[in-house]
Chains A and B, each alone.
Chain A
Amino acid sequence: MILHPTVIANLLAAYIAGGMVLYAVFYGVQILKHWDIQNGHELQLVLERRTYLISTLLSYVFGLQLLSLFLYIFTADNLTPLFVGAMCAAGTLNVDSFGYPTLVLKIFNFILAGLWLVLNYVDNQGYDYPLIKKKYLLLAFVAPVIIVETILESAYFLDMEADVITSCCGSLFSSERVTGLGSEIASLPARPMMWVFYSAMACTLLCGIFFYFNNLGGYLYALLSLLMFFISLVSIVSFISLYIYELPTHHCPFCIIMEEYNYIGYLLYILLFGAVVSGLGVGALIPFRQVESLQAMLSGFIRKLALASVILYAAFTTLVTYEIVTSSLVISYEVVY
């Protein structure tokens, strides 16, 4: 293990989140088993009081979970000078076999935690805890994934040895390599991928705007926003990074968070993750529009979520377009890097 302040911060955040989630899930299971709002028994009243504590606690824990993704990336980037061969977070994450699995789980948990926060917010607007069982059911699903993430993250940091020779991002995300997901994405042709990105984004934004004005097609928008999230991630590797680095062969999705590139990666990822969480929130909430205690606010809130998602995706696209337009790199039709 490398004793570095950022490593300690990551581990502390992971253990706090893991511990709190375990505590919350213990009461969450009781709520799932015994909750009956019609009942005036002592246990029911205890659960009603307890859910305030649990949902407040989880709001902070899941808020921390959202931040922990960026802290994790920041840490990986920060530790780069300690490993031979590492040029950015991509190399640091490759120092042992737990780095990338932890990152994948963090991304997955970011989305789930965001959705839980959306459900919790809506549940708190109703006078009769309308989504209480749904949100604790989601918690019961999220908790094991967060615990696995905590274990993997611990293994990643505890297994870290300073004398490890790792791969640089140029190797991990190279279109010339034949194996690896990063290389496969990097080898996607830039021009066609650009068309895919802009066409899919146009469809997503139009669908979102249509839903905002007509209240129709919410599920489709949620699906498109999830699809757009993956297309955007692939696009970052495939062609967006090329324009930011102004290098036709450098596809790394991590170097863009470095100071040399004005930390633009953080902004891109924040916009992207915000957009997918609010977009998926639309689909998650639509089934509850008829709940009596939520009728007054829910439709309006779902539309606001859709609008937020559309704005975030539009801002992401604008930023990407700005980078492409102002970049010195020109990718011709004939040559595909």
Chain B
Amino acid sequence: MIELMNVKKVFNAGNPSEFSALNSVNLNIAGNKVTVLKGPSGSGKTTLLSIVGCMSRPSAGRVKLNGREITSLPERFLTDIRRKTFGFIFQQPNLIKGISVLDNVMLPAYPLGEKRSQLKMKAMKGLAELNIADKSASKVEWLSGGEAQRASIVRALINDPYIIIADEPTAHLDTKLSYRFMEIIEKFKSEGKTVIITSHDPLVYESSIVDHVVKLRDGQIEGKQA
């Protein structure tokens, strides 16, 4: 489904502070599976995830999504792919303060021009599935950590993406909430979605629902894919 070929990412190229975050990474990520990118801090997990999710471009190499080369695409096409293909769950919930949970959830769908009534229905259904429908009118600053995380998950799903990308999703969650998060991931998997997670949390990469674990160190893949 996602194929990375000789992907390199260099920051501050040509400067004394030049840093090579990824070095010739070749990787195949299977569809409808849960893949975890595991590795210590600075190993290149987030960089790799941002390239796969079309949030940044590699310095060299190509990425194919369903056989279509995407790294050379002009920005407006990448935006479209990002919007319709990927749902992003970040380490921090990154919700916008001052507006309600419902508005936060609906926000990524506005550029697609869907009718507000239908969008609201879809958002409410998503919030209900993660048991936070009663918080829909609340401002996000009133939410607990777990509720904020779930709101960000509903937001990631609002455009019905078929690939979910989660960057260190359990970093700020306690054990109970982390298990709850993995249950949600299992549900995504059962719905046929592809999930890519970066984590160095054993609770995540040792979970039975994870199909592949990719070990990263110093910007390279260690050994063979598990």
* B74 and A49 contact, CB distance less than 8 A: no
Interface SS majority for chain B: mixed
A41 adjacent to chain B (CB < 8 Å): yes
A128-B75 CB under 8 A given contacts A40-B61, A41-B60: no
* A52 and B75 contact, CB distance less than 8 A: yes
Interface size on A, residues (CB 8 A): 13
A45 adjacent to chain B (CB < 8 Å): yes
A96 adjacent to chain B (CB < 8 Å): no
Select which of B59, B71, B72, B73 is within 8 A of A42 by beta carbon. Answer: B59
* B57 and A129 contact, CB distance less than 8 A: no
Q: Which of A31-51 contact B (CB under 8 A)?
A: 37, 40-42, 44-45, 48-49
User: Nearest Cβ in chain B — how far from A41, in angstroms?
Assistant: 6
A124-B71 CB under 8 A given contacts A40-B60, A40-B61, A42-B60: no
* B73 and A127 contact, CB distance less than 8 A: yes
**A49 surroundings in chain B (CB, below 8 A):** 57
* A127, B76: Cα distance in complex, Å: 9
Q: Which of B52-85 contact A (CB under 8 A)?
A: 57-62, 71-77
* A48 and B72 contact, CB distance less than 8 A: yes
User: Nearest Cβ in chain B — how far from A52, in angstroms?
Assistant: 7
**B5 surroundings in chain A (CB, below 8 A):** 40
Nearest neighbor of A40 in chain B, beta-carbon distance: B62
**B150 surroundings in chain A (CB, below 8 A):** none
**A40 surroundings in chain B (CB, below 8 A):** 5-6, 58, 60-62, 71
**A45 surroundings in chain B (CB, below 8 A):** 57-60, 71-72
Nearest neighbor of B59 in chain A, beta-carbon distance: A42
* A129, B61: Cα distance in complex, Å: 18
* A42, B59: Cα distance in complex, Å: 6
Mask: chain B, 190-201; 1 = CB below 8 Å from A; 0 = not = 000000000000
B8 adjacent to chain A (CB < 8 Å): yes
Can you report 24 A-B residue pairs in the complex whose CB atoms are below 8 A from each other?
A: A37-B72, A40-B5, A40-B60, A40-B62, A40-B71, A41-B60, A42-B8, A42-B59, A42-B60, A44-B72, A45-B57, A45-B59, A45-B60, A45-B71, A48-B57, A48-B72, A49-B57, A52-B74, A124-B76, A127-B73, A127-B74, A127-B77, A128-B72, A129-B74
